[in-house]
């Protein structure tokens, strides 16, 4: 569960371009918690356990709102090396 939480945080943070504000980090932590919770419920549903659809829908909507607040669009980062790095890389 903790590993999955970290995977979600890392993935969303990357999608957002990294270097998040403190407020964004708090929203992301809540969103990751809800995402892990939802994934656990989906696993239980798949294995035939009891499933509370109303609770699941409520959590899913809360997760969607948090992700919308964070920004659902991927932010591109410039990964082009500067000229000195490029030349250094070609010299090897």
Q: How many helices (H) and strands (E) does the chain have?
A: 4, 0
pTM: 0.75
What is the model's pLDDT at position 77? 67
- Structure confidence at residue 72 (pLDDT): 75
- The whole domain housing 82 covers 2-91
Q: How many domains does the chain have?
A: 1
Mean pLDDT of 16-32: 94
Write the pLDDT tens digit of every residue in 38-92.
999 999 999 999 999 999 999 999 999 999 999 877 666 666 778 888 788 787 6
CB atoms within 10 A of CB 92: 4
């Amino acid at each position: 569960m903790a590993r999955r939480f970290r995977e979600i945080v890392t993935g969303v943070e990357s999608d957002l371009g990294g270097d998040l504000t403190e407020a964004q980090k708090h929203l992301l932590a809540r969103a990751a918690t809800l995402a892990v919770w939802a994934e656990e419920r989906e696993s239980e549903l798949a294995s035939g356990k009891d499933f509370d659809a109303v609770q699941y829908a409520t959590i899913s909507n809360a997760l969607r709102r948090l992700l919308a607040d964070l920004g659902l669009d991927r932010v591109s980062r410039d990964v082009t090396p500067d000229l000195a790095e490029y030349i250094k890389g070609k010299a090897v």
